[in-house]
């Protein structure tokens, strides 16, 4: 079980690292000067590769978490409301990941008109989600 936990933590940390950096690329894309085709294409390529990589990392992170929950019974029984709250945060993170994919498609097709300031705020969402998840797991307030 300790190996499963260790790998779960590694994959979650790596997944979040990608979710921290991907919106930063969106900020840079929103700041590209009109006519800078090479710079825009390079940033789009970086964003596509990072999204693909973070998607690959999310699968084992979620699978190992499910293994810990279902296979080892972590969080089952009375006094484990923290796990239900954590699962809600995980769903929010998956939704954020999906939103990043949608934004990338819109940026690639020039359909997105958000400012770089909007993307800077969007970039802070995974930090808040990670903070909540860590507090739920470590403190277990419920």
- List the chain domain ranges: 2-139
Q: What are phi and psi of 141, to 5 degrees?
A: -70, -15
SS3 11: helix
pLDDT 10s per residue in the chain (142 long)?
Answer: 788 888 888 989 999 999 999 999 999 999 999 899 999 999 999 999 999 999 999 999 999 888 888 877 777 777 788 888 888 999 999 999 999 999 999 999 999 889 999 999 999 999 999 999 999 888 888 7
Q: Is 49 annotated as a binding residue?
A: no
Tokens 């409301």 map to which residue?
81
| Cβ–Cβ < 8 Å for 29, 58 | no
Rounded-to-integer distance, Cα 127 and Cα 135, Å: 12
Stated pTM of the model: 0.89
The reply to whether 114 sits in an annotated binding site is: no
| Contacts for 73 with CB less than 8 Å, ≥ 6 apart | none
- Tens of pLDDT, residue by residue over 32-73, are 998 999 999 999 999 999 999 999 999 999 998 888 888 777
């Amino acid at each position: 079980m300790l190996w499963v936990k260790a790998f779960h933590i590694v994959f979650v940390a790596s997944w979040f690292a990608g979710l921290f950096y991907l919106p930063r690329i969106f900020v840079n894309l929103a700041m590209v000067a009109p006519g800078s085709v090479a710079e825009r294409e390079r940033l789009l390529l970086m964003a596509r590769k990072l999204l693909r990589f973070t998607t690959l990392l999310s699968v084992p992170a979620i699978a190992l978490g499910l293994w810990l929950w279902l296979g080892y019974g972590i969080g089952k029984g009375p006094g484990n409301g923290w796990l239900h709250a954590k699962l809600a945060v995980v769903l929010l993170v998956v939704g954020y990941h999906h939103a990043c994919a949608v934004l990338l498609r819109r940026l690639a097709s020039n359909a997105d008109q958000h400012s770089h300031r909007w993307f800077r705020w969007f970039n802070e969402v995974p930090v808040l989600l990670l903070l909540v998840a860590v507090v739920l797991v470590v403190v277990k307030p419920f």
